[in-house]
Chain A
Amino acid sequence: MSPPSQATGSPYLHADAVSVSYGATRVLDRVSLTVARGELVALLGSSGCGKTTLLRAIAGFVTPTEGRIVVDGRDITRLPPEARGTAMMFQSYALWPHMNVAANIGYGLRMRGRPRDEIAKRVGEMLRLLQLDGYGERSIAALSGGQKQRVALGRALAVDPSVLLLDEPMSNLDYRVRLELRHELRALQQRVGITAVYVTHDREEALTLADRIAVIDAGRIAQLGTPDEVFHRPVSPFVAGFMGADNAIDVVHAGDGWSWPAGGAGTRARAHFRADRARLAPPGTDAGRGTLAIDGAVVQRVYLGTQYRYRVHAGADDFWVDDPERRDEGAAVRVLVPPDALLVFPAAA
Chain B
Amino acid sequence: MTGSLAGVRWGDTLARVVVILLLAFAIFGPLANLVLWAFAERWYFPHKLPQEFGLTFWARVFAPRGSALASLWTSVGIACLTVLSTLAVAVPAGYALARLRLPARTLILLVFLLPQAVPNLPVYVNIARVFYEIRLNGTITGVVLVHAAHGLVLAVWIASAAFASVDASLEEAARNMGASAWRCWTTVTLPLALPGLIASAIFVFLESLDEFTGTYFVGVPDVTTLPLLMFNASMGGNYQIASITAILLLLPSIAFMLAVERFLKADVLAMIGR
Q: State the A residues within 8 Å of B (CB).
A: 59-61, 80-82, 86-88, 90, 92, 94-98, 107-108, 111-112, 155, 159
Contact between B178 and A80, CB atoms less than 8 A apart? no
**Max chain B CB contacts within 10 Å: which of A81, A86, A88?**
A81
A-side contacts of B188, CB under 8 Å:
96
Known: A61-B172, A81-B172, A111-B183. A92 touches B177 (CB 8 A): no
A82 B178 Cβ-Cβ under 8 A? yes
Knowing A92-B167, A96-B192, A97-B192, the reply to whether A107 touches B172 (Cβ < 8 A) is no
What 6 A-B pairs are tightest by C-beta distance, nearest first?
A108-B177, A111-B178, A94-B173, A81-B175, A94-B169, A111-B179
Most buried by B among A61, A95, A111, A155: A111
Q: How many residues of B contact A (CB 8 A)?
A: 19
| Pick from B169, B175, B183, B192: contact of A80, CB under 8 Å | B175
Tell me the minimal C-beta distance from A62 to chain B in angstroms: 11
Q: A96-B188, A96-B192, A111-B183 are in contact. Are A82 and B175 (CB under 8 A)?
A: yes
Knowing A81-B172, A92-B169, the reply to whether A159 touches B192 (Cβ < 8 A) is: no
B175-193 interface mask toward A, CB cutoff 8 Å, 1 = contact, 0 = none? 1111111011001100110
Contacts of B167 in A (CB 8 A): 92, 94
Q: Is the CB of A159 within 8 A of B178?
A: yes
Give 21 CB contacts A-B under 8 Å. Answer: A59-B172, A80-B181, A82-B175, A82-B179, A82-B184, A86-B176, A88-B172, A88-B176, A90-B169, A92-B169, A94-B167, A94-B172, A95-B173, A96-B173, A96-B192, A107-B187, A108-B177, A111-B178, A111-B179, A155-B177, A159-B178
Question: Which of B174, B176, B191 has most A Cβ within 10 Å?
Answer: B176
A-B contact count (CB 8 A): 61
Q: Which of A92, A94, A98, A108 contacts B178 (CB 8 A)?
A: A108
Are A107 and B192 also in contact (CB < 8 A) when A82-B179, A82-B180, A92-B167 are? no
CB-CB under 8 A from B191, the residues of chain A are: 98
Cα of A263 to Cα of B197 in the assembled complex, Å: 74
Cα of A317 to Cα of B68 in the assembled complex, Å: 90
Give the residues in chain B near A111, CB-CB below 8 Å: 174, 177-179, 183
- CB closest residue in chain B, given A59: B176
Main secondary structure of the interface of B (DSSP, over half): helix
Is B170 among interface residues, defined by CB-CB distance under 8 A? yes
Q: Which residues of B contact A59 (CB under 8 A)?
A: 172, 176
User: B176 contacts which of A82, A96, A98 (Cβ < 8 Å)?
Assistant: A82
CB distance from B134 to the nearest CB of A (A): 44
Q: In the complex, how many angstroms separate the beta carbon of B227 from the nearest chain A beta carbon?
A: 38
- Please determine whether B169 and A107 come into contact, CB atoms closer than 8 angstroms: no
Most A CB within 10 A of own CB, among B173, B175, B181: B173
Q: Tell me, in angstroms, the Cα distance from A87 to B170 when the chains sit together.
A: 13
A60 to B192, CA, bound (A): 23
Cα distance, A96 to B191, chains bound together (Å) = 10
Which residues of chain B from 133 to 188 have any CB-CB distance to chain A below 8 Å in the complex?
A: 167, 169-170, 172-181, 183-184, 187-188
Min CB–CB distance A136 → chain B (angstroms): 17
Q: Which residues on A sit within 8 Å (CB–CB) of B183?
A: 111
Bound form: Cα–Cα A112–B176 in Å: 12
By a CB distance below 8 angstroms, the chain B residues around A88 are: 172-173, 176
Can you name the residue of chain A whose Cβ is closest to the Cβ of B180? A82
The docked-state distance in angstroms from the alpha carbon of A92 to that of B188 is 16
Q: Which residues of the partner chain A approach B177 to less than 8 Å between Cβ atoms? A: 82, 87, 107-108, 111, 155, 159
In angstroms, how far is the closest chain A Cβ from the Cβ of B198?
14
How far is B177's CA from A112's CA once the two chains are assembled, in angstroms? 9
State A88–B171 Cα separation when bound (angstroms). Answer: 12
- What's the Cα separation between A155 and B67 when bound, in Å? 59
Q: How far is the CB of B252 from chain A (nearest CB, A)?
A: 28
A321 CB, min distance to chain B CBs, angstroms: 43
- Chain A residues near B180 (CB-CB < 8 A): 80, 82
Give every chain A residue within 8 A of B187 (Cβ-Cβ): 107
Minimum CB–CB distance from A63 to chain B (whole Å) comes to 14
**A332 CB to nearest chain B CB (Å):** 55
**A158 CB to closest chain B CB, in angstroms?**
9
- Find chain A residues with CB under 8 A from B175 CB: 60-61, 80-82
Q: Could you tell me the distance between the alpha carbons of A108 and B187 in the complex, rounded to whole angstroms? A: 12
Q: How far is the CA of A155 from the CA of B172 in the complex (A)?
A: 13
Asked, given contacts A82-B180, A111-B183, whether A98 binds B192 with beta carbons under 8 Å apart, the answer is: yes
Q: Which residues from chain B contact A98 at a C-beta distance below 8 Å?
A: 191-192
Q: Which residues of A contact B173 (CB under 8 A)?
A: 88, 90, 94-96, 155
Q: How far is the CA of A90 from the CA of B192 in the complex (A)?
A: 19
Q: Which chain B positions have C-beta within 8 A of A155?
A: 173, 177
Kindly report which residue of chain A lies nearest to residue B191, judged by CB atoms: A98
With both chains docked as a complex, state the minimum distance between the C-beta of B88 and any C-beta of chain A, in angstroms.
24
Whole-angstrom CA separation of A159 from B173 in the bound complex: 13
Which residues on the B side are within 8 Å of A80 (C-beta)? Answer: 175, 180-181
A92 to B178, CA, bound (A): 19
Q: How far is the CA of A88 from the CA of B174 in the complex (A)?
A: 10
In the docked arrangement, what's the CA distance between A208 and B141, Å? 69
Kindly name the residue among B177, B181, B184, B191 whose own CB sees the greatest number of chain A CB atoms within 10 A.
Answer: B177
